[in-house]
Amino acid sequence: MSAVVTPMSKEGVLDGKVKNGHYIPNKYVQAQQEGLVHELRKERILDIQSIHKAGVQDPRGFILERDPSSRLLTTHFVTEGFLEDVRNRISEKISTQMWSDLEFLDTRLSSADTSALVNLLTAPDGSPLEGIDAFVVSTALLPSLTADSASYAKSLAEKAHTKGAPNPTLEPRDLSKHLSSKAPRQVISHYISALHPSALSLLNSHFESLKSSEINDAKQIFADRYYTRLVVHKRAIDGLSDKSLRFKLEADLLIHCREVIIPSLSEYITTTPGVEELCVKLKEARELGGIFSHLATFIGDKVPDMDAMQAVKESMIQDLKAQLQPSNDPAEIVLLVLLILLARRGHGALRFSEKYIPVFVPKKQRKQKGAEEGVAEKLLREAKRKKLSKGVPELLDGVMSTIAKKQKVEEEDLEKLKGIGNNMVEFGLGSD
């Protein structure tokens, strides 16, 4: 039959063709092809091979001519309805967790089809999506994981620093475990090579920053508690005219450093690098200048400015006032008033220990060979150089003479002295 039908088909006498020994009318072929379009619209997915088998030479042109909204993935066509259904099914998860599985996809789609499909999808905000294994991921996920990794790295650094641990570490598997609640394992594994180096770097830098801050804080504490106060004391000593008095007060301040400051620093030895070495140097110092030099080197840029020293000096004056108010001891009252007067009129504030330096020397004892004046008399001479108000030098002379004679000081005179001290503290009065 083919010997007869084939020539007739070629001459156009018959509307059809012979295939495998069978005559197939063109209307049948066309109906079969249109049936595929109907199948695509109904099933919303169509294998491109079935179109080829139906005799279509240009499947893409054939389908798009009949359904312009359809899309060719790789081996399958899908309709706009199919795409919209996928968008709807992933939309909520993308919005809330920045990823969604694709397990619901038609199993006929190949991995290449799936990749092509993901390229056609967007997040609810219009941003592109990325396919990772059987998941579709928002471009916002990586920044979110990066931020979470950074937060985790910082927390590890802070815990290690709090515990006093050596340099902390962060392995990729530990970071993956931490991030496991944020996305599927496959997604985390895909990103971990990008996340881990930056997280590890942040861990180390934050840990070093915490150590550096601790050292800086310690230096500031040393500057505030010790160095600045020593400077204020030393400035007051340097302002004295009496060389023997300066020598005694410097020696007393050196003893104060050894007995009070160095032991106080010891509590930081285990937490602050450099403190142990500092304590050794301070103990070995034989002069006050060495103490200042070692402390200044350690605190570096924390050396106090004039405002800081003035604030410390003012605090010391207030402390002297606080001791003056409740005192009933004439010798103590005289000493405190003299210290306030000199502090208000000088660049610093004096301090010394009566354990090593006597304030008053009794009159009888002063007559002995080699006996020296008490500090109070020397301080009074220094105060007189500050041009005290009328009557103040006389009052101090009288009270000090009475004390030296071991006689009772009039209550009225003590109250006058307290008033002078208070006025100097509050108003700077006490000199012309």
Please state whether the predicted TM-score (pTM) of the whole model is above 0.75: no
Are 304 and 315 a contacting pair, CB within 8 Å?
no
pLDDT exceeds 50 at position 431? no
For residues 4 and 8, what is the distance between their CA atoms, to the nearest angstrom? 7
328 exposed, middle or buried (CB, 10 Å; 0-12, 13-18, 19+)?
exposed
pLDDT tens track for 194-237? 999 999 999 999 999 998 888 888 888 888 888 899 999 999 99
Each domain of the chain, given as residue ranges in start order, spans 25-137, 142-214, 309-384+393-406
93 exposed, middle or buried (CB, 10 Å; 0-12, 13-18, 19+)?
middle
pLDDT tens track for 373-385? 778 888 989 988 8
Phi/psi region, residue 70 (left: phi>0; alpha: psi -120 to 50; beta: rest), is beta
Tracing tokens 């005289």 back to the chain, one arrives at: 334
For residues 39 and 44, what is the distance between their CA atoms, to the nearest angstrom? 8
Tracing tokens 């020539």 back to the chain, one arrives at: 7
The phi, psi pair for 368, rounded to 5°, reads -70, 150
pLDDT tens track for 129-141? 999 988 999 999 9
| Helical H segments across 223-301, by residue range | 228-238, 243-256, 262-265, 275-284, 288-299
Are 282 and 257 a contacting pair, CB within 8 Å?
yes
